[in-house]
Structure 1
Amino acid sequence: MHRKFSLLLAASLSYFGLFSAHANETLTLAATPVPHAEILEFIKPRLAKEGVDLQVKVFTDYVQPSTQVNEKHLDGNFFLHQPYLNEFKKGHKNDIQVPIAKVHVEPFAAYSAKHKKLADLPSGATVAIPNDPSNSGRALLLLEKQGLLKLKDPTNISATKKDIVANPKKLKFRELEAATLPRVLDQVDLALINTNYALEAKLNPVQDSLFIEDARSPYANLLVAREDNKDSPAFKKLAAALNSPEVKKFIEEKYKGAVVPAF
């Protein structure tokens, strides 16, 4: 009887030991709805098979996802690019965000509800651009490439309106929170909109924009972890999944050029 009990106990311990070895590790990630959360939802089943329970928390702004990672309410995020992260770190000395992998580029584009082509843009036109430093600089650089203005240094990704040295069309600028730009499209002549917000507003960057960045853009969207968990097995599995051939195919087929793989 004692021997049977010992065998049962040993079997039970082996079972629970095996269960623990395969128990899921949870990763909670912040993402904006499109395309970031969609891509994460796509790889969820693969990660589950690898023992990672991926929880996706959707945000519609850029500040809260970074803040909550720094406060350790979240394990990481997937929405920002390196220039944005650099600017965010300047104003947040406690920033502990670490880039893990480049995933995709969302070519920045300009849209208009009033004009069908760039040549129609009138003198004194009102142009809406994002108000965060990295994306406002990105907008100004794109405007310069179209010949609409001239900057002191056309390689400065942190350029501001103060760096404009020539404005032949006398453009007037409205700097607004990035998420609000699609909603003011009918109030301005031109709006430069981040692709994630454009897609949410049912705008196709390839078909609906007046002009768009090319695929050589340095603004690749990043998978970001905290300093204390960047080397965890779960994050390594997540990074591998995001840089997989399956995700590349998913991005190319679903977004058709509006989002471009960066790996």
Structure 2
Amino acid sequence: MKNSKGIIYTLIGIVVLVGIVFGIHTLTGNTSSAKSATITVGSQGSDYDIWNHIADSKQAKKLGLKIKVKQITDGVQLNNATAQGSVDVNAFQSYSYLQAYNQEHKKAQLAALGTTYLEPLGIYSDKYKKVSELPDGATVAIANNPANTARGLLLLQSAGLIKLDKNFGALGNTSDIASNPKHLKFKEIDDTTGPRVLHNLDAVLISNTVALEGHLNVLKDSIFHEKIDVSTRSNINVLATAKKNKDNKNYKKLVKLYHNAAIQKYIKDKYDGTKVEVQKPLSYLK
């Protein structure tokens, strides 16, 4: 009997010990999990500033989100970092830019988490006040990356300056121009240099992120800019992540956080309304 009781007490002791060890492991695991809950958001330009504000906001804390903001100034490098996992979510690009990236990087696919805003692309000129004033043979600067080249050409078509082929796509370029009645000449430039070359050319297409950095307001200073309609829906900016993470619940909370009323008021006041909020389902973009 004594031996039996001894065995029983030994077994109970082992069970208790295992329970304590398991409990410690669970607590350690939870701590590790909490640390890994930090979301790294990659961004650039004015969007980098916005996400630093969001990361420090009361609204982020209420949603239980810990956000670290990382700046990568090259769009392709930022998308590569997101696809590879050193960045969890990025906030800088239009849906058309994301599509163009996916077409060119078959092994590094990204997916949109949700819409944020339309930042109108504008046509700027130091010499002319209307697009109709552009002379025959005028030189127009457009972005030298595929997505923004196509977007710029679509804007020139909307302005009535050119006509594009019917099958013009996300990676379209100047070879897809069907009609160019003003015999415009096109100069491809790095997106970020637009404001600096403005005085040298007849017209320059400048994204609003770059325009803001050059102290330009697309709604006031451009001679023509994008409007919000079906034709510009692929130009709506999105939050993006690696395709495998597209259903991550915490990442999706970032979309809700961006559209919080207090956050939107901050963005509208700081950027003079040039980042036009768009809260649409992803199906709207397709």
**Quick one: which of 252, 270, 274 aligns to 1:236?**
252
How far off is 1:49 after superposition? 4.2
The CA RMSD over aligned residues, in Å, is: 2.5
- Measured at CA, do residues 206 and 76 of structure 1 come closer, stay the same or move farther in structure 2, by a change above 3 Å? same
Match of 1:253 in 2: 269
**Quick one: which of 109, 112, 119 aligns to 1:106?**
119
Query: Which is further off, 54-63 or 185-194?
Result: 54-63
CA displacement 1:30-87 (0-9 Å, x = unmatched)? 11221x1232123222223433221111233211110111222211211111211111
How far off is 1:207 after superposition? 0.9
CA separation in 1, counterparts of 2:89 and 2:161? Answer: 38
Q: For residue 238 of structure 2, what is the amino acid of its counterpart?
A: L
**Quick one: which of 39, 57, 65 aligns to 1:27?**
39
Gaps of 5+ in 1: 1-8
Match of 2:148 in 1: 135
**Quick one: which of 67, 79, 85 aligns to 2:98?**
85
Any idea what SS the aligned residue of 1:198 has?
Answer: helix
Any idea what SS the aligned residue of 1:52 has?
Answer: coil
Match of 2:10 in 1: none
Query: Which is further off, 162-171 or 149-158?
Result: 149-158
- Asked whether the equivalents of residues 39 and 66 of structure 2 are also in contact (C-alpha less than 8 Å), the reply is yes
CA displacement 1:193-247 (0-9 Å, x = unmatched)? 1111111111110111010111222111111122343333431322220122233
CA displacement 1:121-178 (0-9 Å, x = unmatched)? 2211110001122211111111112111121228644432112122111111011221
Q: For residue 132 of structure 2, what is the amino acid of its counterpart?
A: A
- Asked whether the equivalents of residues 109 and 210 of structure 1 are also in contact (C-alpha less than 8 Å), the reply is yes
1:70 aligned onto 2:86: no
Any idea what SS the aligned residue of 1:165 has?
Answer: strand
Q: How does 1:197-212 map to 2 (within 5 A)?
A: 197-212=210-225
**TM-score normalised over the length of structure 1:** 0.85
Larger fraction in helix? 2
Match of 1:40 in 2: 51
**TM-score normalised over the length of structure 2:** 0.79
CA separation in 2, counterparts of 1:193 and 1:154? Answer: 25
Q: For residue 269 of structure 2, what is the amino acid of its counterpart?
A: E
Match of 1:52 in 2: 65
CA separation in 1, counterparts of 2:127 and 2:74? Answer: 27
Q: How does 1:90-239 map to 2 (within 5 A)?
A: 90-153=103-166, 156-216=169-229, 217-218=232-233, 219-239=235-255
Match of 2:6 in 1: none
Identity %: 35
- Asked whether the equivalents of residues 60 and 179 of structure 1 are also in contact (C-alpha less than 8 Å), the reply is no
Q: Which runs of 4+ in 1 moved over 6 A?
A: none
Query: Which is further off, 149-158 or 45-54?
Result: 149-158
**Structure index of larger Rg:** 2
Q: How many residues align?
A: 249
